[in-house]
Structure 1
Amino acid sequence: MLLHATLLLAGLIPPSDTTKFYFGGENVRGCKQVTANTVYTDSLGFGFEGSAVRDIRPKGRSLVIGESPYFFSVKVPEGNYDVTVGLVGQRAPSHVAIRAENRRNMTDKIDVRPEGLTSVQFTVHVRDTFIRNAANAVVDRVRIKPRERNYAQWDNRLTLEFAGDTPAIRTVTIKPNATAVTVFLAGNSTVVDQDKEPWASWGQMIPAFFQPGKVAVANYAESGESLSSWIHAKRFEKVLSLMKPGDYLLVEFGHNDQKQKGEGIGAFTSYSKDLRYVIDEVRKKNGIPVLVTSVQRRSFDSTGHIQHTLGDYPAAVRAVAKEKGTALIDLNKVTKVMYEAWGEEKSIKAFVHYPANTFPGQTTELRDNTHFNNFGAWEVAKCVVKEIQENNIPLVKLLRKNLPAFDPAHPDSPEMLYWPMSRLRASAKPDGN
């Protein structure tokens, strides 16, 4: 009872409760009412943030619509949550995308029925910076970087972003899920939930490929991190504090590790030692480690083949995976196939290459051959899924049913991805290269 009262005073939803929101002018029993004037405050615990929304009343019942994208946040404790959204169609067919936290892609393109209600469900992970022991007492905290303080995560809030053809919400239901398998991600800027356009990563795209209610993707990667710095920032300690038996940790580093210098530093020495440490600690928690080789950089030679730029780091990951009997996703191998299938010219469409003034405040040309745009991140996520399937990693049973077949040797074209642009944009590239 004391915990329940404390959470209510803090504006938080108790972990055992289901909370329903009704968007419109009517008071609906069992629901919290939300109108266009419901602006988020910590004391209220829910509302719109920085969004242009309005109330409309088609056919006698009100609902809320807004300019794409708009943001709705709910203050909740750390944990995994099933979210169900009821979208209302207008006169013509429309399409909507829903993202969570730092532009984390939760759904494929949603086809909203004209003048009908379309229900969508997904499972999302919410976190804070505190590290707690088994008695739930705070014992430490993650050493986040200054820029992370502005992220739409680490904040005890579930933030939903609605984008597309003037998305119209009727209902949102949030239910704690203590049984879903948590798939933790460890990595650098190629894995992190990038907070601003036009950058993106495979880690923020992959939630849409898993079955709702059964999997929550918890992305603990951060730009600029090596495996050793990720551990030292207590990100790994945070993951272990939350991990339950049967949860996964996917680990992909290498880009920043190869820049480290000093005695004993190297792919087959310090890096391999840290990989073994991570594997052993995850297994102590009865979790399942999965090693991921470094995604390729876009670096072509004169013959149209990808040049190997990551030294011994991918080979070290393969060796440790074999030594420890750990599942392996060979992203280095499959992205080489995919980039060469596109070729040097077409592959630009998967990376952050844009002329000056494409985005607000972007006065110079963007030419980044390491970091993906939304399309590239989506395609790399498909490569990860393909590797899960090809290697029969048990996660395969938790993927969405009837996923379209994907062959890295025959990748998609950019128009295949439905991604209404977010309002959050930046012209400076993430840390790391």
Structure 2
Amino acid sequence: MKKIIALFLCVNLLVSIGHAQQFHFGAGRAPAGAVRVTTGSMYNAAAGYGFEEGAVLKETSRGIGADSPFFFSVRLPEGNYHVKTEIASATVRVECRRLMVRDTVTGKVSFTVHVRDTLIRNAAGEVTGKVRLKPRERNYRHWDNLLTIELNGRAPAIRSLEITPERKAITVFLAGNSTVVDQDREPWAAWGQMIPSFFQSGKVAIANYAESGEALNSFIRARRLEKIISRMQAGDYLFIEFGHNDQKQKGEGVGPFTTYKKDLRFFIREARSKGGIPVLVTSMHRRSFDDAGRIIINTLGDYPEAVRQTAREENVALIDLNAMSKILYEAWGEAASLKAFVHYPANTFPGQPDALRDNTHFSTYGAYEIAKCIVKGIRDARLPLARYLMNDVPPFDPAHPDDADAWYWPSSPLKPALKPDGN
């Protein structure tokens, strides 16, 4: 046992000083230095890697695969990592269903991923605090110092995996609520977990720190912003999108042009104090049509306008998602827009006895379309970040959304639990 623990510590030390971890799956000659992984290599803390329980794995000519989605985890120190892998008939997600490779691929792919824990550290690496998690977050895959890779598709398989620390990529931190967060269970999704698939590998790492139910001030109180700022380097970005929960707050002086703008300015100052680039994002509309089923009703009051004002006053880039989402929803219309939100009959998913009717949170299709609006906003704002978008990402017009029936998203094994916090 002592030898196994020593090996585990050695592997993580190599990663921390810049060397790659390599894994070879199944039979065949493994490259020098690569760890051979078999169908029996279940995750354990001593080894620091392995498959998660649940799938029936088998060796194939393409490596190790299954007839259903499966997960492989590697313990890593906090940071950004460049991942290269050879897969077959698979789409790739990480952590809480964060999309890295959308299309079902056979061959070699690479992506850059952010791994984190809850500890807040100063410049000397000393622990100075901790993010206050909600009970629901304790089972999330993205607070655990593990990089968990989900291989999904009709018959996914993996042959090789190489993980190397990535210190040159720009980190794009996301601060927001349930419309941004990496939703951990089907069928909910948000734009923050779709956006990584639009960026070039090795250039950008998306660090999604959003959480359901959060407002600007609660995000601060839970020390989530402090955690982001502790990790931020000059040239990194902070995308800020709140409003759905802020508008519910009551009290003397509380409102969009008072406390909300004050907190927005605090986020901006904190990012700039580290040489970061703040970007304000107006909240997308809820799905609320007029009596004729044509025009989207503004349920967010003056909160989007407060963001626009703050962007002008602080000379901050603005992505007007509120304006784009109005165009997008009205292009769908009342009936077709149901496919973009979490509207499903009872028993569509295992463990879902009741119908789902959610006009705030998105289906995977809807979240992907909103992510396309964010990409458009990045381009329209002429952010330098735009040069790192994938070369094959076409322009997007919210007035002409993609066909929902052409959307392909093989369902992840984690199925409905509780509706996300917030509305």
TM range (shorter): over 0.9
Match of 1:92 in 2: none
Match of 1:52 in 2: 55
Q: Which runs of 5+ in 1 are unaligned?
A: 89-94, 113-117
Flag the 1:8–1:64 CA change in 2: closer, same or farther, 3 A: closer
In the alignment, the residues of structure 1 paired with residue 158 and residue 9 of structure 2 have an alpha-carbon distance, to the nearest angstrom, of: 28
Per the alignment, in what secondary structure is the counterpart of residue 101 of structure 2?
A: coil
C-alpha contact (below 8 Å) 1:10/1:43 kept by paired residues = no
In the alignment, the residues of structure 2 paired with residue 244 and residue 86 of structure 1 have an alpha-carbon distance, to the nearest angstrom, of: 31
In the alignment, the residues of structure 2 paired with residue 236 and residue 67 of structure 1 have an alpha-carbon distance, to the nearest angstrom, of: 41
Task: For residue 368 of structure 1, report the CA deviation from its aligned partner.
Answer: 0.3
Task: For residue 26 of structure 1, report the CA deviation from its aligned partner.
Answer: 4.2
Aligned mate of 1:31, from 31, 34, 40: 34
Match of 1:340 in 2: 330
Flag the 1:255–1:7 CA change in 2: closer, same or farther, 3 A: farther
In the alignment, the residues of structure 1 paired with residue 69 and residue 63 of structure 2 have an alpha-carbon distance, to the nearest angstrom, of: 16
Q: Which runs of 5+ in 2 are unaligned?
A: none
- In the alignment, structure 1 residue 246 sits paired with structure 2 residue 235: yes
Per the alignment, in what secondary structure is the counterpart of residue 401 of structure 1?
A: coil
The one-character-per-residue Cα deviations of 1:53-104 (angstroms, maximum 9, x if unpaired) are: 433353xxx721113210000000000001111024xxxxxx4210000000
In the alignment, the residues of structure 2 paired with residue 302 and residue 9 of structure 1 have an alpha-carbon distance, to the nearest angstrom, of: 63
In the alignment, the residues of structure 1 paired with residue 133 and residue 406 of structure 2 have an alpha-carbon distance, to the nearest angstrom, of: 35
In the alignment, the residues of structure 2 paired with residue 260 and residue 57 of structure 1 have an alpha-carbon distance, to the nearest angstrom, of: 56
Match of 2:288 in 1: 299
Match of 1:261 in 2: 250
Flag the 1:225–1:131 CA change in 2: closer, same or farther, 3 A: same
- In the alignment, structure 1 residue 223 sits paired with structure 2 residue 212: yes
The one-character-per-residue Cα deviations of 1:217-274 (angstroms, maximum 9, x if unpaired) are: 0000000000110011000000000000000000000000000000121100001000
Identity percentage over the alignment? 57
- In the alignment, structure 1 residue 100 sits paired with structure 2 residue 94: yes
In the alignment, the residues of structure 2 paired with residue 155 and residue 174 of structure 1 have an alpha-carbon distance, to the nearest angstrom, of: 17
- In the alignment, structure 1 residue 276 sits paired with structure 2 residue 265: yes
Match of 2:73 in 1: 73
C-alpha contact (below 8 Å) 2:343/2:355 kept by paired residues = yes
C-alpha contact (below 8 Å) 1:51/1:67 kept by paired residues = no
Match of 1:84 in 2: 84
Match of 2:110 in 1: 121
Task: For residue 397 of structure 1, report the CA deviation from its aligned partner.
Answer: 0.9
In the alignment, the residues of structure 1 paired with residue 99 and residue 305 of structure 2 have an alpha-carbon distance, to the nearest angstrom, of: 31
Task: For residue 150 of structure 1, report the CA deviation from its aligned partner.
Answer: 0.2
Match of 1:170 in 2: 159
Match of 1:379 in 2: 369
Per the alignment, in what secondary structure is the counterpart of residue 152 of structure 2?
A: strand
Task: For residue 108 of structure 1, report the CA deviation from its aligned partner.
Answer: 2.4
Aligned mate of 1:323, from 301, 313, 323: 313
Match of 1:182 in 2: 171
Match of 1:42 in 2: 45
In the alignment, the residues of structure 2 paired with residue 355 and residue 109 of structure 1 have an alpha-carbon distance, to the nearest angstrom, of: 27
- In the alignment, structure 1 residue 109 sits paired with structure 2 residue 90: no
- In the alignment, structure 1 residue 370 sits paired with structure 2 residue 373: no
In the alignment, the residues of structure 2 paired with residue 139 and residue 11 of structure 1 have an alpha-carbon distance, to the nearest angstrom, of: 26
C-alpha contact (below 8 Å) 1:53/1:64 kept by paired residues = no
Match of 1:20 in 2: 22
Q: Read off the aligned partner of 1:412 and give its amino acid letter.
A: D
C-alpha contact (below 8 Å) 1:11/1:42 kept by paired residues = no
Per the alignment, in what secondary structure is the counterpart of residue 107 of structure 1?
A: strand
Task: For residue 391 of structure 1, report the CA deviation from its aligned partner.
Answer: 1.9
Per the alignment, in what secondary structure is the counterpart of residue 163 of structure 2?
A: strand
Task: For residue 165 of structure 1, report the CA deviation from its aligned partner.
Answer: 2.3
The one-character-per-residue Cα deviations of 1:326-379 (angstroms, maximum 9, x if unpaired) are: 000000000000000000000000000011111112111110000001000000
Aligned mate of 1:288, from 271, 277, 294: 277
- In the alignment, structure 1 residue 419 sits paired with structure 2 residue 409: yes
- TM-score when normalising by structure 2: 0.95
In the alignment, the residues of structure 2 paired with residue 384 and residue 7 of structure 1 have an alpha-carbon distance, to the nearest angstrom, of: 43
Match of 2:150 in 1: 161
Q: Read off the aligned partner of 2:81 and give its amino acid letter.
A: Y
In the alignment, the residues of structure 2 paired with residue 338 and residue 7 of structure 1 have an alpha-carbon distance, to the nearest angstrom, of: 53
Match of 1:148 in 2: 137
- TM-score when normalising by structure 1: 0.93
Per the alignment, in what secondary structure is the counterpart of residue 109 of structure 1?
A: strand
